[in-house]
Chains A and B, each alone.
Chain A
């Protein structure tokens, strides 16, 4: 009995010292350049556990609405097209890029002949038609609006699919390289109907095995996969670990091998650390501060004029924009781990043009406010999410804007509440992001077009609307690039959506794992992954 307190004291001391020992200081490893692949040779066997930031919703390509579900689909459901590591569209279940005829209104492609769904059903044009029809017509389908330019799907040959479009829709290819291009087994669709998510069956290197809500999704190697020879792992398990620190702790302990969507703080803390490697790719989306300039009747109503200085006068909005220093925001809030953004089109994609970010200019901002005749400080309520990062972001914006003559009050609001307030037009400004799509139309049309279903601030500008239509119906890449350059300038001229920064998708992984690939849109591809030869 006498020894117990002493033992406890030693144990407590050991706890503190060993814990400190594992916390590595930031190293010198650079993250400035994208690193999308680790190709050391791997051995066969083993199960890879991937830690996800949130629990996926329905594992049904037609009904899902989360990016994290797409992360899981990346291992078990292939798409018609994919985005390669240079953000170019490449065929996946289709075996060639589409042929556009009839002025861009007919979209024809063929599908690969060697693929089978995990339930044994062969992939053919009819199977693709079944999936696309389901995307278009299933009640509650999140894909219907994404491919609503499709009037009819036909199958002129066993492996040939033809889409008849209502109007030319160049960005359609981008959507078929996204969730709308996910193809499901027609047998499983017939058998499970709306309950497809309970037994998802697609073409992929791994097939669905089991799901425990809030915990994990287990997949195992699919021997029917057309490239099964290249698959080394016996299975992949997706585990939901919402807290970034805990996700990193699990990678360090070896319980999890890959951590998706790691935050800047965790990445910084692990740089240069033995046993942990980093893969990263720039996001195709953006984060912005949206000002409510016309959402007076709800998001589905007609745009009105918001009766405050920001709604009435573009000079006040420009002054606010000029008060912000995007580089400093990135440094202060994200430890310099993200990239400043000043437009909706992600750099590095084939349709992007370099856009210089406006520099912080307080004298000019003050002159604009004076010219607008507003009384300073100009009050503004900024709705932010209840995350620590958004809190910091809000505080930095608040401090910067104060210098120019703005009085920003922060209103931290929980996600669902914030969303309903935004849709109802019950907000002055908010911070928020867009996941992003490889085709710039996906980052623009619905967000700043007058009729856009996600146009939260209800910006309405005829020049923007005209350019949106032009961008959608032009097929020539050079011409489209020029249209999106003009579109970016037109959007920025309105200062209604203040683009702030662009995430970088960080994936941390244990060094005994290799063969992981990140696609241009940040998804983890585990089909060629495995444990490094000689590892456990």
Chain B
């Protein structure tokens, strides 16, 4: 038991160390990447109609005329204390902006995921069970549309149909769930449909393929032979076994869900993480871009660390990086 604890501790320390190194590398890459963007930062901040004196003072104010190593050290030492700086464009703290934006993107992604799972699995099962019938063609057709239609276009069409012609949902904006749950949903359903449609299509096709395999498998035939009802055979046996593939696909697509939110947030004017990042890049708001990317990287690294740790707890065979 003691040996196990020692191994676990050293494994954790090793993983933590590696995560820290990764974070430092990420911070350097982001720092240099942002500065490699063409265009003068001070000028982008000051706009076109400004004087050289103003530019010089902006450079001085934000330390843009310092050595790049000095700039990096200043940034990273502040970030280590939780100070991600202030937005050079708006003068407001970067951390506040992240705190406001993150829950919106997370809620949107979660809702899109839910829609994708419910619609995708439902349509996939239907298409497999009713193979060769018109309902399968329709489900396939809709899935093809879901994968091909640009989210920007779909968003505008949904707004025209369900926010303007039939004002059931709102065209834009966000209201926190805690403030008004109904209004929150009214504003998030359309963006969630747009964001989730591509994923739903992928899930539908994966479910259909897996279900077709399962339905022709021996265990399904056995289940039927045992006299189980159609519902029990499909739900209890075929679907259950198909879900393994579907869940793997879902896991792989999750990252895309977050990155896809960038376009959806622009269409529905949702002040989420994606919109924050795009606006910051276009205005050369270094502090904001760095803050957002650093924060996202830290979240990814932390989640990976937690997952690895949980694996090692749950399954001793995966544990401890090959330690015997």
Contacts and interface: CB of A to CB of B under 8 A. Distances in A.
Contacts of A22: 160, 164-165
Interface in A407-423: 414-420, 423
A239 B269 contact: yes
Interface in B20-56: 37-41, 43-54
B284 A416 contact: yes
Given A22-B164, A212-B271, A249-B163, A145 B171 contact: no
Contact of A139 (B47, B57, B122, B284): B57
B117 to A, nearest CB: 16
Contacts of A300: 52
B173 A239 contact: yes
Interface stretch (A98-106, A222-230, A250-258, A340-348): A250-258
A416 B54 CA distance: 16
Contacts of A65: 45-47, 49-50, 54
B277 to A, nearest CB: 9
A58 B271 contact: no
Nearest to B134: A5
Contact of B38 (A58, A216, A420, A432): A420
Counting chain B residues whose Cβ lies within 8 A of the other chain, the interface size class is 35 or more
Contact of B167 (A243, A254, A435): A254
Interface string A1-41: 11011001100101110110111000000000000000000
Given A65-B50, A214-B279, A249 B44 contact: no
B126 A1 contact: yes
Given A197-B91, A453-B52, A454-B49, A417 B38 contact: yes
Counting chain A residues whose Cβ lies within 8 A of the other chain, the interface size class is 35 or more
A195 interface: yes
B172 A415 contact: no
Contacts of B174: 215
Contact of A213 (B44, B100, B163, B165): B100
B307 interface: no
Contacts of A212: 97, 100, 271
A477 B165 CA distance: 54
Contacts of B158: 15
B138 interface: yes
B90 A249 contact: no
A376 interface: no
A256 B282 CA distance: 24
B61 interface: yes
B258 interface: no
A139 B61 contact: yes
A144 B53 contact: yes
B54 A141 contact: yes
B89 A255 contact: no
A315 B172 CA distance: 53
A63 interface: yes
Contact of A18 (B40, B54, B61, B161): B161
B43 A9 contact: no
Interface string A120-145: 00000000000000000001111011
A434 interface: yes
A335 interface: no
B46 A420 contact: no
Interface string B287-304: 010000000000000000
A246 interface: yes
A336 B81 CA distance: 56
B139 A19 contact: no
Interface in A266-301: 299-300
A246 B91 CA distance: 27
A360 interface: no
B165 A19 contact: yes
Contacts of B57: 139-141
Contact of B48 (A139, A194, A454): A454
Contacts of A15: 157-158, 161
A145 B53 contact: yes
B275 interface: yes
Interface string B135-151: 10011001000000000
A242 interface: yes
Contacts of B142: 8, 12
Nearest to A2: B135
Contact of B43 (A21, A420, A432): A420
A414 B61 CA distance: 25
A5 B139 contact: yes
A253 B39 contact: no
Contact of B54 (A142, A197, A246, A253): A142
Interface in B104-134: 122-123, 126, 134
A419 B267 CA distance: 28
Nearest to B97: A213
A211 interface: yes
B170 interface: yes
Nearest to A63: B91
A60 interface: yes
A100 B163 CA distance: 57
A416 B38 contact: yes
Of A141, A243, A415, A434, chain B has the most CB atoms within 10 Å of the CB of A415
Contact of A250 (B49, B171, B282): B171
Nearest to A237: B173
B306 interface: no
Given A58-B89, A214-B271, A453-B51, 5 more contacts: A18-B166, A58-B91, A253-B163, A415-B282, A420-B38
5 contacts: A65-B54, A250-B269, A423-B40, A453-B50, A453-B51
What 7 A-B pairs come out closest when comparing CB atoms? A416-B39, A215-B271, A416-B44, A253-B171, A18-B165, A5-B138, A197-B91
